[in-house]
Amino acid sequence: MSENQPDGIETRIDTGTAHNARVWNYWQGGKDNYPVDEQVGDHVAGMIPVIRDIARADRAFLSRAVRFLAEERGIRQFLDIGTGLPAMENTHEIAQRIAPESRIVYVDNDPIVLSHARALLTSTPEGATDYIDADVHDPDAILRIAGGTLDFTKPVALMLLGILNFVLDGAEARSITSRLVAALAPGSVLVLTHPTTEPELGGDLQLEAMAFWNANAKPPVTARSREEIATYFDGLTLLEPGLVSCSRWRPEAGTDTPAVPQLGAVAEKP
């Protein structure tokens, strides 16, 4: 754990209100959640049954993207913001299995995520894994603390999977992304997923479910159009196949996964 990690994390855990990390864990089939998370999760799933597919597709996208970057692009540093609860095949496990010297920094400000991270996130002797308590709304703090583990003069994979949708102001979300990308060396990559409103992917069905979520859970969430999400990659070079449903980004050979209303892409900084 890095600097400025608070003691008494468990006392900050609110078990009376559904929280995204725990509900996401529930949708993925995990057990690190409370009855309120299951209740809200089931209600949302009744409104948009594909939500469990979205959760699993997003996690599978992470696995494929990290493996691709480690194996084919030689990336050895990962800054994973909005980590969520530790699960099977976490970023550091994939990256360090391929390249033991890989260095990973996880960022989240959910107390239950932090409490689990202390017990579950480890590292190879050759590499490093760190976990910092910080908020995506404060990119300068993230960069300052992460700089104790990562060398920002060398390429870094900046991972923003399902996190900018919790930054409700579109201009602020773009500003956060720009600030983080600006700190990265050439050859770095942005790895991003975001729920979309695109009707051809069923994104319009998410709006009513998100309204229910925002009234009954936290933090509040929003979906965005393809055009809005594409702006996060301004100045970067999208790698094939571009900005697509995250389930359709470099899928495993022989698989036929349905498209989900969650866009994903990987883009390189020139």
Q: What does the pLDDT look like over 57-84, one tens digit per residue?
A: 999 999 999 999 999 999 999 999 998 8
Q: What are phi and psi of 83, to 5 degrees?
A: -60, -45
Reference 50, options 249, 247, 250, 265; nearest CA is 247
Q: How far, CA to CA in Å, does 199 sit from each of 150, 207, 213, 248, 258?
A: 40, 11, 20, 17, 15
Where would I find the H helices in 164-250?
170-182, 206-216, 226-230
Task: Kindly report the pTM of this predicted structure.
Answer: 0.91
pLDDT, position 119:
58
Can you state the percent helix, strand and coil of the chain, rounding each to 5? 45, 15, 40
pLDDT-flagged residues of the chain (< 70):
1-13, 118-120
pLDDT for residue 255:
77
Mention every residue, 6+ apart, whose C-beta is less than 8 A from residue 175: none
Position 12 scores a pLDDT of: 59
